[in-house]
């Protein structure tokens, strides 16, 4: 069954979260934009799986889902049909509708346009692991740790398991770790729960998830291990202090 069209207010809520490209709490939304995502807007966006909301203290925090990003892309491509009245509604319609010109000209995706700067920096401009000098023999490949090498207690949630696996693999502070190496250490954790945890974690101040800068280096295993956030595949994770 096709989704019912979103109301203008729910559409605007989705666009705000898209533009922020991170999880936002209602207090943050109120402080920055003077609005909160509650009532019909939250219920509609959650029921349609455009936005995931979770209770954080006394309030809710919200993040756009893959389906939400796809719908936002459709709005940019097709425009907003009935945005309401007044200059504010007309401005939203004009800005969203005419983003398509920039996308067509630049060949960028919405995720690249609205992605947070730190998530769009190529991985090799962060703190990459140094390549061995040409005059020295390359180090032996790092052995894949087994899932059993990362102890997990019954109380561990998926985020805790991810953090433990990262700590096991990172060879120095602020090291980039590929999801190809990290996923096997999560044992039997369901793929959808792991991906949902990655999408929540990307909004945290100590976590970065980025695509591999050299797409030609990617193997089928790397592509399979990636997590898609927005409309962009992320292959590497960094968890800092």
Predicted confidence (pLDDT) per residue in 99-147, tens digit = 877 777 766 666 667 766 544 444 443 444 434 344 444 444 444 444 4
Mean pLDDT rounded to a whole number for the chain: 79
Tokens 């995720």, located at residue: 111
Determine whether 190 is exposed, middle or buried from the number of CB atoms within 10 Å of its CB (0-12, 13-18, 19+).
exposed
Q: Which of 31-45, 56-70, 152-166 has the lowest mean pLDDT?
A: 152-166
CB 30 within 8 A of CB 36: yes
- From CA 194, how far away is CA 158, in angstroms rounded? 6
- From CA 124, how far away is CA 130, in angstroms rounded? 10
What band does 240 get if pLDDT is binned at 50, 70 and 90? confident
In three-state secondary structure terms, 223 is: helix
pLDDT for position 65: 86
CB 211 within 8 A of CB 235: yes
Q: Say what the pTM is.
A: 0.51
């Amino acid at each position: 069954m096709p989704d019912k069209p979103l109301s203008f207010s729910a559409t605007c809520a989705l666009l705000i979260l898209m533009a922020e490209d991170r999880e936002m709490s209602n207090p943050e939304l109120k402080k920055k934009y003077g609005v909160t995502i509650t009532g019909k807007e939250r219920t509609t966006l959650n029921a349609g799986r455009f936005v995931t909301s979770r209770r954080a203290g006394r309030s809710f925090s919200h993040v756009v889902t893959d389906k939400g990003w796809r719908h936002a892309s459709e709005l940019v491509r097709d425009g907003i049909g009935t945005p309401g009245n007044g200059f504010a509604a007309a401005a939203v319609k004009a800005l969203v509708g005419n983003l398509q010109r920039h996308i067509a000209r630049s060949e960028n995706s919405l995720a690249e346009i609205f992605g947070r700067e730190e998530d769009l920096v190529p991985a090799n401009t962060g703190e990459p692991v140094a390549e061995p000098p040409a005059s020295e023999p390359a180090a032996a490949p790092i052995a894949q740790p087994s899932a059993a090498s990362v102890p997990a207690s019954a109380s561990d949630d998926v985020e805790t398991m991810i953090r433990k696996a990262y700590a096991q693999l990172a060879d120095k502070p602020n090291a980039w770790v590929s999801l190809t190496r990290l996923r096997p250490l999560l044992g039997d954790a369901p793929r959808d729960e792991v991906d949902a945890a990655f999408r929540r974690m990307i909004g945290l101040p100590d976590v970065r998830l980025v695509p591999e800068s050299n797409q030609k280096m990617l193997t089928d295993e790397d592509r399979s291990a990636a997590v898609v956030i927005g409309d962009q595949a992320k292959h590497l994770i960094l968890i800092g202090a």
